[in-house]
Structure 1
Amino acid sequence: MNIKTLCAIALTSVSAAAFAVDKPEFNLVDLNADGFVSQEEAQNAEGLAEVFEAADMNKDGQLDTAEYTEITLG
């Protein structure tokens, strides 16, 4: 693992922790109530856009409730 990868992991961890402190409920971020948080919807939750890519575990471009819960619990 190189230094850039380690730094990215560290910054993601810090950002995720910061987001987790003031996390809004999933249904408040899922504005269209489709059961997923899109990248566009993530822009409305402070700190979520910065950790969105890391939180999107299956890389489908959206967060389901499990992925959202994982990132908000830290």
Structure 2
Amino acid sequence: MNIKTLCAIALTSVSAAAFAVDLPEFNLADANGDGFVSQEEAKNIEGLTEMFEAADVNKDGQLDELEYTEASIK
């Protein structure tokens, strides 16, 4: 293994740990009740804005309940 590979592995481990956040229940995060957490709604939840892009697995610009739940347990 070379140094670049080791650095990539180390950064991935740190990044995953940095995303771990204690998020409120989905229905509280979904302020307008449309079944999704938008980027605007994410601004009201500490730590969610920083991890939003990674949590948005299907890249539709919003988090459904499954994406939100997965983000909260990582």
TM-score (norm 1): 0.79
Give deviations 1:11-65, integer Å, cap 9, x for gaps: 5412321x1xx21000111110000000010011110000000000000000000
Cα RMSD over matched residues?
Answer: 1.7
Counterpart in 1 of 2:16? 13
Distance in 2, matches of 1:52 and 1:66, equals: 13
The residue type paired with residue 32 of structure 2 is N
- Which of these two proteins has the greater Rg computed from alpha carbons? 2
Q: Unaligned 5+ residue runs, structure 1?
A: none
Counterpart in 2 of 1:54? 54
- The percent identity for this pair of structures is 58
Secondary structure, aligned partner of 2:57: coil
Aligned residues: 67
